[in-house]
Amino acid sequence: MPASRPASVTVTGWDPATWKQTVSRTFTVPAEAVVAEADDVASPLVELCADNFPGAGTSDDGPRAVSSTRLRQLFDKDFSRMAVVLVDRETEATGVGYVDTSGKLTKLSGGQGEDFGDTPKEENAVFAEDGSAVWFTETDSSDRVRIGSRSVAGDHAVTEQGEGDGNYMDGSGLALAGDPVRGLFGKEVRVGPDGRKATAFITWNGYNVVDVPQRSALLKAEGVKTTGIPFEADCYPYGWVDDRTVLCGPRLGEAKDPKRKNSFWTLDTSRLGDSEDLPKGALGGPIIPATDRKNTVRAIARDGKQMIFASLQGTRLEFFLSPIAPGATPKKITAGDADRALRVGEVLEWR
């Protein structure tokens, strides 16, 4: 964007009972921040901006799904600061920092210095929930990925957190989990409410339930404890309903069970084990009626009792509120401003 019209990110709060706007905060994106895929630098901000222009948000496969954990973690707990990846356009060195609602940019990464070595390449900037640090990944010329953090207290020291071979990790991003916090570098990572479990797509293994390790880690086929989601469950994991239950939709767009066509259901992950077979009683019944609409979960309430889903009928995109229970009756969201926000933006959190 030209300097005379800098890019911005606006976060708005809505009351889901009345659909009245309650708060709005805008972050002006610094000129040196990475916001475009053309920069070939990984940042959740690129993902947020790429999908959220008018007309975006749907494809031949239907509306886009609920955002992954890392998009929420662009911001601190109170949405007062936003993490950014900064790029030196001359050297292509990248570092991390954050911007507040006043537009002030704080850089946490230093310059390249006088050492002769690899170009600094810090990416995937996300905030610790308490706002104490910005976490990031750094990849060297041998595809080794290091996960680290920089304190916002002023010392800006790097805390070593973990590292691993980054082969087959294309398309991965950084999410934070647990207390004390750990970094999980992986694909489509969605962290459970208690921070002990996550779902992720793992190359060669498909969708898995991951036990959050004691140290930061790369989510790969080896090195972390995973439990595969049985193929029979036909589960694309949208997110967590509670500490052990995942909300699912058809894995490949078309459910095998006609009663589950374009519907949703739950999967009790505590029943899963080493067997590739689906345990009895692990799968919940269809939540919404089977239809020919393309339906996609857009948000899950923190208490796990409600969801918002997008429904594409032909070219008409609508949004519905529904209990997360078998046989639920969805209720259409008719408020115009809320419809536009859901259509263009991401639901970052449902408090």
Q: So what's the pLDDT on residue 60?
A: 53
Extents of the domains making up the chain: 8-344
Per-residue confidence (pLDDT) for residue 164, from 0 to 100? 82
- Per-residue pLDDT band for 56 (boundaries 50, 70, 90) equals very low
The answer, yes or no, to whether residue 58 has pLDDT greater than 80, is no
Residues 275-298 have pLDDT tens digits of 888 999 999 999 999 999 999 999
Please determine, for residue 3, whether its predicted confidence score (pLDDT) is greater than 60: no
Q: What is the mean pLDDT of the chain?
A: 89
| Helix H or strand E encompassing 58 | strand 58-59
For the cut 90, the answer to whether the pLDDT of residue 70 exceeds it is yes
Strands 226-228 and 206-211, by their bridges, are: antiparallel
The number of CA neighbours under 13 Å toward the Cβ of 338 is: 22
Question: What is the Cα–Cα distance from 130 to 133, expressed in whole angstroms?
Answer: 8
Find, among 57, 62, 98, the residue nearest to 80 by Cα: 98
List the structure tokens of 104. Answer: 């002030």
What Cα–Cα distance (Å) separates residue 76 from each residue in 125, 148, 279? 12, 17, 39
Classify domain 8-344 at the CATH topology level. Answer: Neuraminidase (2.120.10)
CB 178 within 8 Å of CB 213: no
**Cis geometry, peptide bond prior to residue 180 (ω within 30 degrees of 0):** yes
Is the model's pTM score more than 0.95? no
pLDDT digits (tens, 9 = 90+) for 13-54: 999 888 899 999 999 999 999 988 877 899 999 988 875 554
> What pairs with residue 296 in β-bridges?
310
